[in-house]
Structure 1
Amino acid sequence: MASSGLQLLGFFLSLVGLAATVGATLMVEWKKQYQGKTHRIFEGLWMSCSGNERTTCEFHQYLLKLPIEVQATRAVMLISVFLSTVALMVSTVGMKCTRFMDGKSESKSTTAMIGGIMFMIAGVLTIIMTSWYVKKIVDNYHETKTLQSFEFGNAVFVSWAGGLLTAAGGAFLGCRRCSRSQATSSMSSNNHLLPPMGPKSNYV
């Protein structure tokens, strides 16, 4: 029962992490810039927005003209979302609370572990890529040393949170000992119910 609870916790954390990763990928506030007191500029992976009280947004028209950190982050975030989506389906099959592969406990636990590992890879990719994106912004800020430089926005924190939650949920799902604990306990209980197979003594 405890291992099933850990699997449900890991699945829930990974699901929330996936939602946060998707939200961060679509958010426009990956980096921001303030010009004066009212004019704001936001740039995301897919579009940029600018304005005062009302902002107008437009999609990036040319992929090759985008900075390298935007191109790389966009690609890796999409890969992370894809891996998490596949891991979501794989974990659903391998979890103990589902009825898939009920007659194959060993294969079921292995499937849950594979799903957890995929979640962990997706989470680590998100964390590494987001940190590299932030590093590029900070390096550019120190190189220019002007007040008009970009700073990283709220999407960075959402992406970090999504990566951490996805990796943590995958760690719970990928715990091999947790996945096998119920099967091991059931086998040990069955062994106690079996009669002893020791040698019999013949009495005259």
Structure 2
Amino acid sequence: MANSGLQLIGFLLSLVGIATTIAATLMVEWKKQSQGKAHRIYEGLWMSCSGNERTTCEFHETVLKLPTEVQATRTVMMFSIFLSAVAVIVSTVGMKCTHFMDDNAKGKSTIAMIGGIMFMVSGLLTIIITSWYVKMIVQTFYQAHRLQTFEFGKAVFISWAGGLFTMAGGAFLSCRRCSRSEPSPSTRVNHLLPTTNPKSNYV
């Protein structure tokens, strides 16, 4: 069964990953565009901002008018956060440092492993959709005129970091210590006892 210290490290790493993923999802700098020396345009999954020293932001009015990469990234990121939230509940039940299911150690360990796998899937989804988003931005950058295209921003790197932290935490949670089961003392005593009664010689 997994070490409780290892589980705690994995759980904390997963929490850091969730917080980082949520921050990246809410950030506005998923892609950026420079017009001149001072004017900047930023676009995120939920809003866009533009301006010089003072920037003004507004939420996206309709989902249907958004680019495909924004719609897909927003959906997958929200699903990843939801899956991580469920994994937090499952892992809390299965961790050794909690008092849930203390009478069923094997089932408790299995639940912790399931929570870790859910964290790993969540982190993997975040990394995949972020990488695909970057790929779409790069393709558009080289196909169109450079003055009319966007570059990917800081939120991309934060999203990658969140996915890696979540995956690492899930790996720690789902890790099990492989060790051979030693026979119990009663079993060892039984092996030392003779199986048949020796015959007694009477004079």
Shared fold, TM over 0.5: yes
Structure 1 distance, partners of 2:157, 2:147, is 22
- Counting aligned pairs with the same residue, the percent is 66
Q: Which runs of 5+ in 1 are unaligned?
A: none
1:1-204 matched pairs, under 5 angstroms: 3-175=3-175, 177-178=176-177, 188=182, 191-192=184-185, 196-197=189-190, 198=193, 199=195, 201-202=197-198, 204=200
1:23-82, CA deviations, whole angstroms, 9 ceiling, x for partnerless residues?
Answer: 000000000011111111100000000011110100000110000000000000000000
Residue by residue, what CA displacement relative to the aligned partner does 1:69-115 show, whole Å, maximum 9, x if unpaired?
Answer: 00000000000000000000100100011111001001000100100
- Kindly indicate whether the alpha-carbon contact (under 8 Å) linking 1:6 and 1:173 is maintained by their aligned counterparts in 2: yes
Gaps of 5+ in 2: none
* TM value normalised by structure 2: 0.91
Aligned-partner Cα distance in 2 for 1:140–1:66: 15
Q: Is the 1:25–1:77 contact (alpha carbons within 8 Å) kept by the matching residues of 2?
A: yes
User: What is the identity, as a one-letter code, of the residue corresponding to 2:12?
Assistant: F
Q: Tell me, what secondary structure is at the counterpart of 1:196?
A: helix
Cα 1:60–1:77 change in 2 (3 A) is same
User: Which of the two has greater helix per residue?
Assistant: 1
Offset of 1:196 from its aligned partner?
1.4
Extract structure 1 runs of 4+ deviating beyond 3 A: 200-204
- Does the Cα contact within 8 Å between 2:2 and 2:109 map onto a contact in 1? no
| CA radius of gyration, larger in | 2
Are the aligned partners of 1:35 and 1:148 in contact in 2 as well (CA < 8 Å)? no
**Aligned counterparts of 2:144 and 2:2: Cα–Cα separation in 1:** 54
